[in-house]
Amino acid sequence: MKSLSILLIDDDEIERIKFQKVCTDINFPCSVVEAINGEQALIFLNRIENTFNIIVLDLHMPKMNGLELLEKLKSNIKFKNTPIIIMSNSEDDSELKKCYDYGICGYFTKPAEFTKYSKKVKSVLKYWKQNELIS
């Protein structure tokens, strides 16, 4: 089974740990690279030769927030077709609309309860692993 390559961008260390724990708990074949904000992610993405199967992105981060990064990624031919999933605590309808206008592939809120959080992350990972566009 091929490993799914994921870029996780979230400034909250606990959220990054939770995401990694879900991947480990379900023994999901994936490689997760972490960035703590949009600025760091953009620098990293522009330095790396490899591409990611998906990007999981938080919206509210310091330096460069998720919407700013999303705009830059979707205007760059190198990343334009990379699936981006927003994982955020924001339930602001105007932010959500902007995200979909930029071309995100999905959005989910981060539940505080780990069991619910785990279920959401598992669903997202399984969907993208089975997606025919990922080889």
The pLDDT tens digits for 96-123 are: 899 999 999 999 889 889 999 999 999 9
Q: Confidence class of residue 130 from pLDDT cuts 50, 70 and 90?
A: confident
Domain 4-130 is found in CATH 3.40.50.2300? yes
Place of tokens 């924001």: 90
| One-letter identity of residue 18 | K
Residues 6+ apart with CB under 8 A from 64: 37, 38, 39, 42
Q: Is the pLDDT of residue 28 over 70?
A: yes
Boundaries of every domain in the chain: 4-130
Can you give the pLDDT at residue 20? Answer: 93
Q: Is the pLDDT of residue 1 over 70?
A: no
pTM summary value: 0.90
* Distance in angstroms (rounded) separating the CA atoms of residues 33 and 9: 8
- Sheet architecture: strand order including 84-88: 30-35, 4-9, 54-57, 84-88, 106-109
Can you give the pLDDT at residue 88? Answer: 86
